[in-house]
Amino acid sequence: MQSSKRYTSVLHFFKKDSAAGLMLLLATVAALVIANSPLNKWYEHLLELEFTIGFSSLVIEHSVHEWINDGLMAIFFLLVGLEIKRELKYGELSTLQSALLPVITAMAGAFVPALIFWGLNGGSDFMNGWAIPMATDIAFVIGVLAVLGSRVPVWAKVFVTAIAVVDDLIAVLVIAFFYTEQISMAALSVAGLCLLVLLLFNYKNVNNLAPYLLVGGIMWVAVLKSGVHSTIAGVLLGFALPAARGWSLDQLKEYAQEGFDLFKQAADEDLPVTREQALHHMDETVQHAQSPLHRLEHKLHTAVYFVIMPLFAFANAGVIFDPNVMSQALISPLTWGIAIGLFIGKQVGIFGATWLLTILGISGLSAEKETWKVVYGVALLAGIGFTMSLFIAGLSFTDPTLLEFTKVGILIGSLVSGVLGYLVLSRRPDFEAEEQEPFDLSEQKQVQTEP
């Protein structure tokens, strides 16, 4: 009984929106503590352990750190691709009118931090890190909003989620176009062929996930060998998966009725074989009732937010607080270009763009003071760059000292943004369910969704 209660409590924890952010925080703290303890050598040795897979001339040899950043993060970007496609097809980005506010504010929230970084580092050897402060870590942001509970209205959570999706799309494009090494056309051709096969599966309404994942795995290897960052393969696979269910509603009803009849026959005649047939029939019905995109997104969510992202944070957030390095970091324009870009750039870009669109009568926001407090609090929280910023930092620099500088800047900008965003939003009364919201991103359109 006691173990059952503990199991229920664990399940309840992982279902909370705040749980993913808490796991990321714990992984970050663990990395910082271990990196500055006698266990640091063990930590570095673990991350540098080499693992090789493959055969003959097709071999992939990576350290644990590289397998996390190039392998596991490709799965993270697969989920990003699935979320972007879902929003473009069914969600807040599916019509021009509903997408205008989150798209413009997300673009401003990405470009203003990059401009601030350029202003502080233009012409220097640090300019390769211009994209680091452009990112927003949605897991941390949603975690903070979940802790705040009803003090944050539903429309604000929808608003920040839509911004984060666009922000991820911008990050994917930046990685694809600006952080690509020397291209191998042969490997890129194989990746292109794999993408065509995936699109053919989509066109033929292939509903089984296995063929997509098999070809997607081959595409990941080809993209890895091509010089384009391997995580792009995850995004392309996400875009290639069908977002519509395989069968029509009438087909589902007919097939489900056949399954029900089999169950009834099995119960009446007590035939184990018929019972197994009925169970298989119902499994098929459930599979065809959901699109491959929806099924895979559901399967990946827990693994990505509770395993992959914490592992990434643990492997990449370990800043060593060496006095000499820290003193250099705190006077470096690289550190402050990132920190100020995240803290000032994000809030100026998002809040400023929202205000401008409201003045132009485009946003649908009311002029109430309380509404703008929420917008400002959300703009502050968007300065939590963390996971994606660390990822882009790893693509920007290979020098260990410069990487330390970037981590210090990311931690300062993210921490200040998160704390101040929480304080601004926490000083608000609870929103009652019946309270009239100032706007709803979805009320201006009829959203097409799957039943």
- Write the pLDDT tens digit of every residue in 394-428: 889 989 899 999 999 999 999 999 999 999 988 76
CA distances 9 to 6, 13, 142, 144, Å, are 5, 6, 21, 21
Interacting residues of 370 by C-beta distance below 8 A, sequence separation 6+:
428
Indicate the fold that domain 16-180+229-237+300-427 takes in CATH: Na+/H+ antiporter like fold (1.20.1530)
| Confidence grade of residue 379 (pLDDT, cut at 50, 70, 90) | very high
Query: What is the largest distance, in Å, between two alpha-carbon atoms of the chain?
Result: 81
pTM of the model: 0.77
Handedness of CA 146, 148, 154, 159 (dihedral sign): negative
Provide the residue ranges of all domains of the chain, joining segments of one domain with +: 16-180+229-237+300-427, 246-289
**Is residue 132 within 8 Å of residue 117, measured between CB atoms?**
yes
Kindly report the backbone phi and psi dihedral angles of residue 204, in degrees, each rounded to the nearest multiple of 5, phi listed first. Answer: -85, 5
Distance of alpha carbon 172 from the chain centroid:
11
Greater model confidence, 439 or 213: 213
User: Helix, strand, or coil here: 63?
Assistant: strand
Kindly report the backbone phi and psi dihedral angles of residue 147, in degrees, each rounded to the nearest multiple of 5, phi listed first. Answer: -65, -35
pLDDT digits (tens, 9 = 90+) for 331-341: 999 999 999 99
145-177 burial: b if 16+ Cβ within 10 Å, else e: bbbbeebbbebbbbbbbbbbbbbbbbbbebbee
- Give bridge partners of residue 51 from the DSSP assignment: 62
- Report the run of H or E that residue 55 belongs to, with start and end: strand 50-55
Q: What's residue 219's pLDDT?
A: 94
Interacting residues of 259 by C-beta distance below 8 A, sequence separation 6+:
278, 281, 282, 284, 285
**DSSP structure class, residue 54:** E
Radius of gyration of the chain (CA): 24
